[in-house]
Amino acid sequence: MKRAAFTNRWLPILLLLPQMAIIVVFFYWPAWHALTSSFYLQDPFGFSETFVGFANYTSLWKSAPYARAASFTVVFSLLVTFLSLAIALLLAVKADKVIKGAKAYRTALMWVYAVAPPVAGVMGIILFNQSWGPLTRFLTMLGWDFKLGVNYYDTAFAMVLVSVWKQIPVNFIFFLSGLQSIPKSVREAALIDNRSASGRFWDITFPLLAPTGFFLLITNITYSLFDTFGVIDTLVKGEPGNNPMTLVYKVYVDGFRGNDMGGSSAQSVILMVLVLAMTIAQFRLVERRIHYT
């Protein structure tokens, strides 16, 4: 491999500087700030701070709303990740078989990806509007008295639905390109070796998609934990009330609505640790398991 070398030792540093500045300003500094303020208690008007040690953390440990949000987050993430991966995989397998009009089909699916999360949330609000939302009407027809923003489970249902819908296209594109990178002759060999289509899928296609699937699993967990903020915020219209919320959304609600900077900081530190652990686990696993060629 050819390696380019810099002759001037200041040039690489100069070139790295903008990137480093961005990381420092938008990550290290806020992270440090969150870490320090998680050990303080602020008065409601932000005039003074008192050092309280781990009190913010211990009170989270005992907090019923926090436990409720945490368990909702786990269920929500599992559902969103599983459903958006499973549905996208199903669609990709079907699309892979389509020869005519395949491009139009893919483009149509891809459009959803271009929708920003809050916009997806707004679309959810429209679809689930109490008096005239088409989905509400449909569910009413089925005998489900759907109340978005009022009934805890109905709201949770809408959150999962919109989040899944939003995430399917990306997964779809990755799965489809994963499928198409399986050599044609390998599929044909399987066609001769195994008469059952589902057998071929689970024995050959699925394992060969594993690298793609694993990558998507990680990105989807991250998505469901963090990037669904916009969807949730729009759906509950900033009025969390009795509605379900994820841990990330709770950081925002407690910090900016409840003015509990210390507690909110402690929550975000917990989340940072979680992300760090997940990232390390991801790299470990990727290194160890997934390489075939």
Partner 1 sequence: MAQVTLSGITKTYPNGVTAVHPASFSIPHGEFIVLVGPSGCGKSTMLRMIAGLEDISAGDLHIGARLVNHIDPADRDIAMVFQNYALYPHMSVRKNIGYGLKNRKIPQAQIDQKVAEASALLNLDDYLDRKPSQLSGGQRQRVAMGRAIVRDPALFLFDEPLSNLDAKLRNQMRIEIKALQRRLGVTSVYVTHDQVEAMTMADRIIVMNEGRIEQIGSPSEIYHSPATTFVASFMGAPPMNLLHGEILNGMAQIGDLRLAAAPKAASGAVVIGLRPEDITPDAAGPLMLDIALVEELGAHRLLHGSLLGQPISLHVSKDIAASTGPLRASFKPETLSLFAADTGVRL
Question: Which of 68-76, 87-95, 189-197, 218-226 is the region at the interface with partner 1 (rule: CB under 8 A)?
Answer: 189-197
Nearer to partner 1, 148 or 204 (CB): 204
The per-residue DSSP string of 154-223 comes to HHHHHHHHHHHHHHHHHHHHHHHHHHHTS-HHHHHHHHHH---HHHHIIIIIHHHHHHHHHHHHHHHHHI
Q: How many positions of this chain bind partner 1 (CB under 8 A)?
A: 20
SS3 228: coil
- Gap between the Cα atoms of 115 and 123, Å rounded: 10
Q: Which of 21, 191, 274, 281 is in the footprint of partner 1 by CB under 8 A?
A: 191
**Binding pattern for the stretch 3-42 against partner 1, x by CB under 8 A and - elsewhere:** ----------------------------------------
Q: Are the C-beta atoms of 204 and 186 separated by less than 8 Å?
A: yes
Residue 131 touching partner 1 (CB under 8 A): no
Rounded to 10°, the helix 64-97/152-180 angle is 40
Footprint of partner 1 on residues 199-218 (CB under 8 A)? 199, 203-204, 207-208, 210
Question: Which of 46-54, 192-200, 265-273, 277-285 is the region at the interface with partner 1 (rule: CB under 8 A)?
Answer: 192-200
What tokens appear for 72 in the block?
């909702």
Residue 289 touching partner 1 (CB under 8 A): no
What tokens appear for 233 in the block?
């915020």
Residue 192 touching partner 1 (CB under 8 A): yes
Q: Which residues bind partner 1 (CB under 8 A)?
A: 183, 185-186, 188-196, 199, 203-204, 207-208, 210, 292-293
